[in-house]
Amino acid sequence: MLHARGVRADFVAAEMAAMSEGRYAKTASRSVLGSMNEFVYLAGAYRDRRGADDLVALSLWLAQTPCGPLYGSHVTPEAALGALIDEWAGGRSHRSAPTT
């Protein structure tokens, strides 16, 4: 999904390295759990309405959805990602240069 948004390759590589290990744990936030359930519902509605199984398109669409836990900051996952990349890059452009 990061490549589909045109995110710089060095940020993608850093994220992949940071996600090399994972843990499963019970959430302490019912708000996060509720948001996850809402995303499941929205994903099903998206598939039913559009008849599509393109997971990248679905992810890009869901990233524009307002999300309760983000209301205090960036509101949507897409905006939160942009802010995270800008912070990581120290204000440098996080998008790849357009290809012609």
Question: pLDDT tens for residues 4-56?
Answer: 888 889 989 988 998 898 888 888 888 888 888 999 999 999 888 887 788 88
Rounded-to-integer distance, Cα 71 and Cα 75, Å: 4
Going by C-alpha positions, the residue among 14, 7, 1, 24 that lies closest to residue 95 is 7
Residue 82 has pLDDT above 70, yes or no: yes
Which of the 8 DSSP states describes residue 95? B
| Structure confidence at residue 68 (pLDDT) | 73
| Structure confidence at residue 92 (pLDDT) | 52
pTM over 0.75, yes/no? no
Domain boundaries, the chain: 1-11+28-100
Residue type for position 57: A
Q: How many CB atoms lie within 10 A of CB 7?
A: 19
Q: Are 69 and 58 in contact (CB under 8 A)?
A: no
Q: Are 78 and 63 in contact (CB under 8 A)?
A: yes
